[in-house]
Amino acid sequence: MSWALQRSVWQLEAPLHVGMPPSGSLNRCRLYVPARALWGALTAEVARRKGMGFPSYEDVGMAIRRDVRLTYLYPAEQAGGDWYAWLPRYEPGQGLVWEREGDPGGDGLVPDAGMRPRLLVARPGTAVDPGSDAAAEGTLRETECIGECWRRPTGDAKPVGLVGYLFVRDGSAIQEALEEVQELFLGGDTRYGLGRVRPVAWEPASQVFGIDPDLDGADPCVITERVLAHASVPEEAATLSGDLEALAWWDDGQLRTAPGAQPYWQPGSAAPKPVRWRIEESGLWAMHVAGEPAEIAAEGVG
């Protein structure tokens, strides 16, 4: 069994909100799009484009889960006609920082607190009391969104892109349907016009964010010390440097959590040595320990 690797680039045409735990009256936003949100958007768009009558969301969603593995989408900046993703990394003594791929003309490591103002805008909102037709007391809030343009210190108003990778099972008929997608609605509040993106590049690739993948197993794998998705690690394995986060999601009308309410390491967390990670159908990464040590040597990979 083998996989074909594709690189996709999307450009924002409307603000994008991907929620994270709020802070008071501020609905905070992540700086990346989890694979599950991308899976849901692709499922909706492909199902609506196929056939007649009511879209078969369940069948299309299961086909994508079976034949496609998705990475997270990370914010990207255009330089010299190419798109370069900004990726998270935990650095000792600095915490979470962001760095641009290859850093062509970039700024080196940018702290998370400095990265958020470059991408995020805030949208005020409130609930309306139907009795008075006025703002309901105590409902004023702001919602953070990734804006359509970078807010750079230099004042350049470059468009914001999103870069990610898709592993498509060889021979799968779903690849053609995915390549026909001309528009997606990602994240929350899409019925209010948020989250609209369009594809600007869809091309074969040999690496995943600069990492050489293994495309010949039941699931694609990468060998790297840094995770670029939420990742699970067995209790007996060495811990990572970074932050943990409990994940929960809605599925079939029920709120579901990770098995045993296990927290996941956040994107950017790093192991002491390169580790083999399996990319699961959910887009989460799992440390691959079956039949081999958790940590293995990998020259030239990181």
Question: Based on the domain organization, do 185 and 230 belong to the same domain?
Answer: no
Say if residues 14 and 159 touch (Cβ distance below 8 Å). Answer: no
Question: Based on the domain organization, do 153 and 250 belong to the same domain?
Answer: no
Q: What is the pLDDT of residue 3?
A: 96
The residue among 205, 237, 258 that closes a domain is 205
- Where helices occur in the chain by DSSP H, the ranges are 35-49, 57-67, 112-119, 174-179
The number of residues making up the chain comes to 302
Question: Based on the domain organization, do 218 and 167 belong to the same domain?
Answer: no
Q: How far apart are the C-alpha atoms of 86 and 226, rounded to whole Å?
A: 14
DSSP assigned state of 116: H
Query: What would the pLDDT profile of 62-95 be if each residue is shown by its tens digit?
Result: 999 999 999 999 999 998 889 999 999 999 889 9
The residue among 150, 182, 205 that closes a domain is 205
Question: Based on the domain organization, do 110 and 68 belong to the same domain?
Answer: yes
The domain total for the chain is 2
Q: What is the pLDDT of residue 198?
A: 96
Q: What is the pLDDT of residue 137?
A: 74
Q: What is the pLDDT of residue 37?
A: 95
Which of the residues in the chain have pLDDT under 70?
1, 51-53, 104-107, 155, 238, 252, 258-261, 289-302
Q: Which domain holds residue 200?
A: 3-205
Closest residue by Cα to residue 29 from 194, 158, 146: 146
Question: Based on the domain organization, do 199 and 226 belong to the same domain?
Answer: no
CATH at 129: 3.30.70
Question: Based on the domain organization, do 200 and 216 belong to the same domain?
Answer: no
Q: What is the pLDDT of residue 235?
A: 77
Q: What is the pLDDT of residue 86?
A: 96
Provide the sign of the torsion angle of the four alpha carbons 44, 48, 53, 56, taken in this order: negative
What is Dmax (Cα atoms) for the chain?
Answer: 68
The residue among 189, 205, 221 that closes a domain is 205
Q: What is the pLDDT of residue 96?
A: 96
Question: Based on the domain organization, do 163 and 14 belong to the same domain?
Answer: yes
Q: What is the pLDDT of residue 129?
A: 79
Q: What is the pLDDT of residue 298?
A: 39
Question: Based on the domain organization, do 13 and 42 belong to the same domain?
Answer: yes
